Chains A and B, each alone.
Chain A
Amino acid sequence: MAIDRRHLGYALPPFTVEVTPARIALFRKAIGADAGAPDIAPPTFMKAVEGEQNSSRRILEALGVDLKRVLHAEQQFDYLGPIRAGDTLTVQRTVTDLYDKKNGAMDFIVIESTVSHALRGLLGRSRQVVLVRNPQARAGAAA
């Protein structure tokens, strides 16, 4: 089932995230990081920041997507400055593209996010492509 294109531009209200030292330490432990400065977040920590408050699930639910059909297809990060322990960050997430492939067997949702610091400005941009698998559509197309 195609995702309603009226969701294009859907945005969550901006939210703030406190990056505690414990938060970075837990993330480093989860990915087996033992090198690097303990107070600087690893590169993909930006995903944990933007995913705060269950934001990814809330976006997918707002678009009417069944979580069982969802896979992460692509992820891009642009880094403008480091995320550090003690930072208070503001996250903005917006659905910037919706498209489908293979006669609707695969829907794609593009979510772009920004992570900013009040004094240091924009620290990073993230672009996530979510794949929604629609097996019925494929079966229908094949029949």
Chain B
Amino acid sequence: MRLDQARPGEQVAEYQTGPIPREQLALYAEASGDSNPLHLDPAFARNAGFDDVIVHGMLGMALLGQLLDTQFAAFTLGCFDARFVAVLPVGQSLHCTATLAERTTTTLTLDLEAFDSTGKSIIVGRASLTPPA
């Protein structure tokens, strides 16, 4: 689907991650400063009611951001919002999609969503971007 031919409601981009391993959670914790043990310590995660550590919501959002950075690189990002609707266990992958929400002469608005491998919604988001001049 070419972006300039897309109509609202049509998917215009996608981005598939690989499985997100523990090592990536540790690296993200170091890189982001988010050292919440919920993402690092399985015993802590179990104590918090999960089967194992869960992926940082912000890592998931960063991966959604990768869709923007790789496929809308010529655009200038104005706003980027996310709701973390479900937790993603370690070892799972994310399938990120962008759907055209609205297009004006000055702004492109995308509905974003990230799903786990079963199609369950993990993150719902939105971004508005300014097209290149």
Contacts and interface: CB of A to CB of B under 8 A. Distances in A.
Interface of A: 23, 26-27, 29-33, 35-36, 42-44, 47-48, 51-52, 54, 56-57, 67-79, 133, 135
Interface residues of B, number: 40
A54 B33 contact: yes
Nearest to A44: B62
B83 A73 contact: yes
B36 A74 contact: no
A79 B80 CA distance: 8
Contacts, number: 111
A133 B73 CA distance: 38
Nearest to A52: B33
Given A33-B66, A36-B73, A74 B28 contact: no
A112 B40 CA distance: 26
Contacts of B79: 76-79
Interface of B: 17, 24, 27-28, 30-38, 44, 47-49, 56-59, 61-63, 65-66, 68-70, 73, 76-84, 87
Nearest to B58: A47
A48 B33 contact: yes
Contacts of B69: 33, 35-36, 42-43
B21 to A, nearest CB: 11
Given A44-B58, A73-B83, A73-B84, A35 B36 contact: no
B81 A77 contact: yes
A105 to B, nearest CB: 13
Contacts of A23: 31
Contacts of A42: 62, 65-66, 69
22 contacts: A27-B31, A29-B27, A31-B59, A32-B17, A33-B66, A43-B65, A47-B34, A48-B32, A48-B33, A51-B32, A51-B33, A52-B33, A57-B36, A71-B84, A72-B56, A72-B58, A74-B81, A74-B83, A75-B57, A76-B82, A78-B79, A79-B80
B131 to A, nearest CB: 15
Nearest to B124: A74
